Structures are given as structure tokens and as C-alpha cells.
């Protein structure tokens, strides 16, 4: 504000019996209340001293810390909204709006998080349409839980694999490569005993390749035969061949 403008303002205040606020504060000052025609907000000046908010009392706009009308816009219109929610059309200030890269639209908080979720793996918000359910390790009794991650993270991450036995994505700590069938098998297949992990080579095999030794170890038939074990069909265990006298 120029010195000339200040002089004019001082003269106007004195002429109308007004008085200055303390410490240069404008709090309590009343401004003309003129709503924007066919729009939101009011025609009004930019205020650069605190408080920069106005209280709408229905007759005037009063400078007040408790006001709900923001008065620091350079466009000549104050208290309007920067945008509207794409879903519910509610007016939004810039700080209260959420932009979606997936839809290229702006939302309020509630509408945004009804269509988006926070992916802890990628540390970013993602749209529900770009989500994938995965199985991850947990401290639960069965050892795994389901989680939802973004498709983008799944595409570039090497932490998850698609398992052939159930066609679900599993964390690599819960997935096993079965060389015998050239595919990945999930923890679920191990738990249901359709596949097993050999006690000898720690590899994954289908249950029809299981061999139980006389010492209680679970190995594959190929391992048993390579170690010159033979099947005792009566007891269904594998043990060393008996030496002939």
C-alpha cells in the first residue's frame, strides 16, 4: 500500500469517527459484504496482516481469528473454493483436496479414500482398480495373511510370485520353486500336504514323490533310491537294503 493510499485511508477513518486498532491489527474491522454473482465467495481485498480471516455475520465481513472465510487470495474474490469434489461436488480449498493420478480428478477426503487406499509396500496412495490381493507373512497361527498392494509395485517388485497351485500371488518367503514340475508352489500347498519339503535337500516336491525313511525323515523317492534305500511295503517306509549272507 502506498503512502498516499494510507493518508487517504487515515483521513477516511477520522472523518467517519473511526479509530485505529492496537499494534496495527485489523481485527474487528468490518468490510463490505458483497457476494460473488453466480458464484461462491465474496468480492474483497487481499489481507496481508494477521488475522487474514473474516467472519461472515450476514451484514459485514469482520476481520477475526475465528473467521471461516480466508482473505489471502490475490484474485479479488475471497472465501471461494479452489475446486470441487469429482464425486460429491462439495467445495474444496486447495489444502483440503486430493488429486488422483489414476482418474485425473480431484476429491474430498471421504470420497478419495472410498476409491483409493494406502499401499504400505510402495508408500503411496493407489486407486482400488489398480490393487492386487497378495499373501504375506504374519505372526498368526497359520503363518500368513492377505494384504492389498498396488499393481505398479507388483509389476516391478521381485518380492512376490504367482503360484501355480492356487493362481495367487505370494511373498517369496511363502513360495517354493518345485523343480520336479518347473513351477512355484505356495505355503498353502505345503500346509494341505499336497506338496512337501524334503528334509535332505530342502527342495519342494509333490506328495506322490514322498518317501518316509525308517529314521522318520521325509525325502523324495529319487533321493531314497540314490541312497540305495528300498521300500518296505508292509510298513510303507524306506530303509537300507539288507545285506545277503
Q: What ranges do the domains of the chain cover?
A: 3-80, 84-119, 193-245
Is the pLDDT at 159 greater than 90? The verdict is yes
User: Mean of the per-residue pLDDT values for the chain?
Assistant: 86
Q: pLDDT tens digits, residue range 78-126?
A: 766 667 899 998 878 778 899 999 999 999 999 999 999 999 999 999 9
Residues 6+ apart with CB under 8 A from 83: 91, 92, 94, 97, 106
Neighbours of 225 (CB within 10 A): 13
Q: What is the chain's Cα-based Rg? A: 36
Q: What is the percent of the chain with per-residue pLDDT over 90, rounded to a whole number?
A: 57
Contact 82, 73 (CB under 8 A): no
Q: Tell me the average pLDDT across 48-56.
A: 76
Average pLDDT over residues 164-178: 97
Identify the three-state secondary structure at position 196: strand
What pLDDT sits at residue 245?
45
- The structure's pTM equals 0.66
Element (H, E) at 137: strand 131-137
Indicate the SS3 state at residue 112.
helix
Q: Is 24 helix (H, G, I), strand (E, B) or coil?
A: helix
Task: Return d(Cα 243, Cα 230) in angstroms, integer.
Answer: 12
CB 162 within 8 Å of CB 136: no
User: Can you tell me the distance from the alpha carbon of 15 to that of 161, in angstroms, rounded to the nearest whole number?
Assistant: 80
The percent of the chain in helix, strand and coil, each rounded to the nearest 5, is 20, 35, 45
Q: What value does the mean pLDDT take over residues 42-63? A: 77
Alpha-carbon distance values, 120 to 149, 219, 222 (Å) = 8, 39, 43
Which of the four pLDDT bands, split at 50, 70 and 90, describes residue 198?
very high
Amino acid at each position: 500500500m502506498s503512502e498516499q493510499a494510507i493518508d487517504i485511508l487515515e483521513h477516511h477513518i477520522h472523518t467517519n469517527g473511526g479509530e485505529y486498532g492496537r499494534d496495527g491489527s485489523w481485527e474487528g474491522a468490518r468490510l463490505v459484504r458483497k457476494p460473488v454473482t453466480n458464484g461462491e465467495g465474496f468480492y474483497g481485498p487481499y489481507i496481508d496482516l494477521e488475522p487474514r480471516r473474516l467472519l461472515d455475520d450476514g451484514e459485514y465481513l469482520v476481520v477475526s481469528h475465528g473467521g471461516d472465510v480466508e482473505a489471502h487470495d490475490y484474485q479479488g474474490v475471497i472465501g471461494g473454493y479452489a475446486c470441487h469434489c469429482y464425486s460429491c461436488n462439495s467445495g474444496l480449498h486447495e489444502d483440503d483436496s486430493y488429486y488422483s493420478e489414476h482418474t485425473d480428478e480431484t476429491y474430498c477426503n471421504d470420497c478419495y479414500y472410498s476409491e483409493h487406499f494406502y499401499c504400505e509396500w510402495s508408500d503411496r496412495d493407489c486407486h482400488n482398480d489398480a490393487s492386487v490381493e497378495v499373501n504375506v507373512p504374519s505372526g498368526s497361527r497359520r503363518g500368513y495373511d492377505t494384504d492389498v498392494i498396488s499393481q505398479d509395485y507388483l509389476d516391478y517388485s521381485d518380492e512376490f510370485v504367482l503360484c501355480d497351485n492356487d493362481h495367487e500371488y505370494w511373498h517369496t518367503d511363502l513360495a517354493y520353486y518345485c523343480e520336479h514340475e518347473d513351477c512355484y508352489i505356495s505355503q498353502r500347498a505345503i500346509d494341505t500336504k499336497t506338496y512337501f519339503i524334503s528334509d535332505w535337500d530342502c527342495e519342494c516336491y509333490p506328495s506322490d514323490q514322498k518317501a518316509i525313511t525308517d529314521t522318520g525323515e521325509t525325502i523324495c523317492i529319487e533321493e531314497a533310491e540314490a541312497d540305495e534305500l528300498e521300500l518296505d511295503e508292509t510298513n510303507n517306509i524306506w530303509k537300507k537294503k539288507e545285506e545277503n549272507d
